[in-house]
Amino acid sequence: TVADDLDGIYEAIKENALLSKFAGGLGNDWTQVRALGARIKGTNGQSQGVVPFLKVVNDTAVAVNQGGKRKGAVCAYLETWHLDIEEFLDLRKNTGDDRRRTHDMNTCNWIPDLFMKRVMEGGDWTLFSPSDVPDLHDLFGRDFEEAYVAYEAAAARGAIKLYKTVQASSLWRKMLTMLFETGHPWITFKDPCNIRSPQQHVGVVHSSNLCTEITLNTNEDEIAVCNLGSVNLPAHLYPQGHELAGQINHDKLRATVNTAMRMLDNVIDVNYYAVAKARNANLKHRPVGMGIMGFQDCLHQLRTPYASEAAVEFADRSMEAVCYYAYWASTELAEERGRYASYKGSLWDCGILPQDTLELLREERGGYVEVDTSSSLDWEVLRRRIEQYGMRNSNCIAIAPTATISNIIGVSACIEPTYQNIFVKSNLSGEFTVINDYLVADLKQLGLWDEVMIADMKYFDGSLAKIDRIPNELRSLYATAFEVEPSWLIEAASRRQKWIDQAQSLNIYMAGVSGRKLDETYKLAWVRGLKTTYYLRALGATSAEKSTGRAGALNAVAVGETQGTQFCSIDNPECEACQ
């Protein structure tokens, strides 16, 4: 959280540099900084707003390369009522005044529920300078709504001079347009992150991190830090040939999670902290972020397409198990090592578990929450254990992108669908050809794996949709990310989110992008209770060139023609700061 004065602003930039030096991925909350045109009392001048300082942050990220290996990675967050929000949306554009552009920095919308309700209901939205409405930054839910409406009334009667009223739907459209054109700012939701936070008794979640899976409190004395790790989920399914093949091996999963939670808790004590505020926060609250990887591999083993109710159900049951064992492990650590310092008054202390907070969210919103609430494990036993022993960690679960470690292990990244069935991945270690081993095994069994098939798969960018000799069943099972409707990604994420005490790094893949489809997708994410989303990945127009070539025509036929619409090209962006 960046303070609204020069000392605070440049202190934050210095802290960014120090954290980035040691390979930290950063998220900054800039909502407190006054808007363009706001009065500066000390000089009786006018503020230049947030944007010029974000340019400095951008250049600092370039200058301080992470560990000497690559440029720094930082994301700036701004709440939707900030008067500079419209210029903030333009930061990644390639046109306009380059002094007010940040080409190397990520940006993210931090959206209150009231704005989404105004969008749904066709209302107006008022933009303010935080210097005129200083308490909005620390409010959420009904408290935010009451204060915001009061400020709107004050502006209407002339008590607040610097403000602007826009149609909520128009601002929402611009958000989606910029997301489509530039890939930024991402869409995240302030109120679910706070209302469902176990730590709302000691502060406010003002932003997420670089990859949108961390939702921890920040203030002038604390920089949120979270140590991450991920469970290799397909390694915890019973293997083929076992009588329970494809089902979760709960004994093995519980043992793995217990070990992982103990190790992550140990890291808190032995870690190096470049900034004192980060050390203070981490030792006080002891949050960790254990996630999963290889979700798509599990679906392949289960012979389940990602775009199916069975996949959504598996997302629910598997995440329930991981979270159950993680929270249980934290209670065991609390029994052994003691509760974390700020436990008293937390939702854990009040007997409220993450899935219970969906009802709190529904009450605060006044509706607009449509989430499945089914469960399969005995949560009452865990609830009683937490009541007796408490928790060692304020937060336990966060699903990070795992772009690097999943590659090392040889499984699909976190909760991602298959990007392509064959593609070349580049990172600091070099270039690697990644191929879907499950598909290769199936094609070999059918006698279809040959040089022609390899050529066709390369030609069609790893997609099977236009290779006619592959059976429809396999085309469905091995559909690539852009062939899966984004609603399926959100439905699966919604089932996971009900169990998770932080958030998940959720990319949205979309082919054939339209304004209506974007609108429906991100509104669905809000109604399904998601806290955050990450990149919008859309197909590049370059694939249209292949329609004039001859390669791949040996055994491929077209299955419907696609329109050559130009999309923003976000070709497999990866975040190594989050594993």
- Catalytic residues, by residue number, are 209, 211, 213
The 3-state secondary structure of 410-446, one letter per residue: CCCCCCCCCCCCEEEEEECCEEEEEECHHHHHHHHHC
Pairing state between β 422-427 and 430-435 = antiparallel
Q: Are 404 and 346 in contact (CB under 8 A)?
A: no
Residue 214 to residue 288: CA distance in whole angstroms = 9
Q: What element of type H or E holds 257?
A: helix 250-270
Pairing state between β 36-40 and 45-48 = antiparallel
Residue 465 to residue 459: CA distance in whole angstroms = 12
Structure tokens of 25? 């991925």
* Sheet of 106-111, strands arranged across: 25-29, 73-79, 106-111, 186-189
Q: Are 25 and 211 in contact (CB under 8 A)?
A: yes
Residue 368 to residue 436: CA distance in whole angstroms = 39
Distance linking the first and last C-alpha atoms of the chain: 24
For residue 169, which of 536, 516, 524, 510 has the smallest C-alpha distance?
Answer: 516
For residue 197, which of 348, 383, 388 has the smallest C-alpha distance?
Answer: 348
Structure tokens of 191? 């109120």
Question: How many CB atoms are located within 10 Å of the residue 535 CB?
Answer: 23
| Rounded to 5°, angle at Cα 448 from 442 and 454 | 95
User: Which amino acid belongs to residue 264?
Assistant: L
For residue 24, which of 210, 290, 287 has the smallest C-alpha distance?
Answer: 210
Using the structure block, give the residue that is written with the tokens 């997708």.
521
Please tell me the number of Cα atoms within 13 Å of 298 on its side-chain side. Answer: 28
Q: Are 57 and 103 in contact (CB under 8 A)?
A: no
Radius of gyration of the chain (CA): 24
Q: Are 177 and 167 in contact (CB under 8 A)?
A: no
For residue 257, which of 149, 393, 372 has the smallest C-alpha distance?
Answer: 393
